[in-house]
């Protein structure tokens, strides 16, 4: 379900006390940020119950995610499986698609289960291909191979070096030193130094 709400009703990602399985990535406007180059920021919102509601804020400053390219790494609900049941990636990709983003994704084994769900999503052969020309890269599943990505190569491939790490697989200071805008869950964000 996609709802539209006021920005004041959203929960900033770093402040979310919810377990990872109940978090949902949301694109929303925020006057103090320039995420996606149009006055927006990334938020998480979820309900405590089994159903997850995705919130996309209505403020025109962001203009939604329309026209933005978002890479998504990880589709399975946990690493080492192709099981997508209750995967947060399902809701995240749906929200991004509904908001008009172009989604390109990579998962080592779960892509065949997702292809029939999203004919308009680009399924990539590598995490680097999912990052190519992206306005952001979102890490949803903590596959071990994602921990050892070549950060220099990622930075060169991304249109904007913004990584949203929903599994906290990197250290904010290291990512900032590597020149990334780095958003993680429950920790101080990294900004390029």
Domain spans in the chain, listed from the N-terminal domain onward = 2-184
pLDDT of residue 95: 80
Q: What is the CATH number of domain 2-184?
A: 3.40.50.720
Q: Rounded to the nearest 5 degrees, what angle is found at the Cα of 138, between the Cα atoms of 167 and 69?
A: 175
Structure tokens at 135: 């306005």
Q: What is the pLDDT of residue 66?
A: 76
pTM above 0.85, yes or no: no
pLDDT > 90 in the chain, percent: 42
Q: Among residues of the chain, what percentage have pLDDT more than 70?
A: 64
Report the sign of the C-alpha dihedral through residues 162, 33, 70, 147, in that order: positive
Q: What are the start-end ranges of the E strands in the chain? A: 2-3, 11-12, 25-29, 40-44, 54-55, 69-73, 102-106, 122-123, 136-139, 162-165, 181-184
Q: What is the pLDDT of residues 41-70, one digit of tens each?
A: 344 433 322 233 333 333 332 235 778 899
């Amino acid at each position: 379900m996609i709802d539209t709400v006021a920005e004041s009703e959203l929960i900033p990602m770093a402040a979310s006390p919810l377990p990872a399985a109940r978090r949902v990535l949301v694109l929303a406007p925020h006057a103090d940020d320039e995420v996606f180059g149009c006055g927006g920021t990334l938020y998480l919102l979820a309900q405590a119950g089994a159903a997850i509601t995705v919130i996309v804020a209505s403020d025109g400053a962001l203009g939604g995610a329309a026209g933005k390219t978002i890479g998504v790494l990880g589709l399975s609900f946990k690493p080492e499986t192709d099981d997508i049941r209750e995967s947060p990636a399902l809701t995240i990709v749906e929200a991004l698609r509904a908001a008009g983003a172009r989604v390109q994704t990579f998962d080592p084994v779960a892509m065949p289960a997702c292809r029939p769900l999203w004919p308009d999503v680009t399924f990539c052969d590598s995490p680097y291909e999912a990052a190519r020309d992206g306005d952001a890269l979102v890490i949803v599943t903590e596959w071990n191979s994602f921990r050892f990505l070549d950060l220099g190569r990622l930075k060169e491939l991304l249109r904007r070096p913004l990584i949203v790490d929903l599994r906290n697989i990197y250290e904010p200071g290291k990512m900032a030193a590597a020149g990334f805008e780095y958003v993680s869950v429950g920790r101080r964000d990294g900004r390029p130094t």
